[in-house]
Copies of this chain bind each other. A is one copy, B any other.
Amino acid sequence: MDEFMKAAIEEARLGLQEGGIPIGSVLVHRGVIIGRGHNQRVQHGSTILHGEMDALENAGRQPASVYKESVLYTTLSPCPMCTGAILLYGIPKVVIGENQTFMGGEALLSAQGVELQVLQDETCMTLMRDFIAAKPELWNEDIGV
């Protein structure tokens, strides 16, 4: 597997170990990880630090030119909020671990010209399936259900 999706999965597992929601992400600029993160709903009581948002936040302030040469890796299909963040910063490509347990804003991303690659990775799917089965209320809270 791609080293960057491996890093995103490491982030997801770290979140799980912390008692959180197992979704991880890395932001990669010209082949180098410049931000990595995972969902912080449980750990920081955060309603906005989804995995992708945490990776973007941890990348720090970047000029627009950096985002436009970057790829975002995420273990799960990006929700509407994370989709909007991708569009705001003009990130041109997103690699998605899987979209079987949750389908986010992929149609909007595609319509806006963002290149998507969906891996349907078994590890990503198992992480989410096990988590949703164990803590359905927490998962629903994270997606506004």
Which residues does A use to contact B, with CB under 8 Å?
A: 41, 45-49, 53, 56-57, 59-64, 67, 79-85, 87-90, 105, 108, 140-141, 143-145
Min distance, Cβ A100 to any Cβ of chain B, angstroms = 20
- How far is it, in angstroms, between the C-alpha of A18 and the C-alpha of B105 when the chains are bound? 35
Q: Could you say which of B41, B46, B61, B144 contacts A67, with CB atoms under 8 Å apart?
A: B144
**A61 and B41 within 8 A (CB):** yes
- How far is it, in angstroms, between the C-alpha of A56 and the C-alpha of B84 when the chains are bound? 15
Closest 8 CB pairs of A and B: A84-B84, A80-B84, A81-B84, A80-B87, A81-B85, A89-B144, A81-B88, A80-B88
Task: Give 18 A-B contacts (CB < 8 Å), ordered by A residue.
Answer: A46-B57, A47-B57, A47-B59, A47-B61, A47-B62, A48-B53, A48-B56, A61-B141, A64-B144, A67-B144, A80-B88, A81-B81, A81-B88, A83-B84, A84-B84, A84-B85, A90-B144, A108-B108
**A56 and B64 within 8 A (CB):** no
**B88 and A144 within 8 A (CB):** yes
Q: Could you say which of B41, B53, B88 contacts A143, with CB atoms under 8 Å apart?
A: B88
- How far is it, in angstroms, between the C-alpha of A63 and the C-alpha of B62 when the chains are bound? 33
Residues of B within 8 A of A67 (CB): 144
Min distance, Cβ A50 to any Cβ of chain B, angstroms = 9
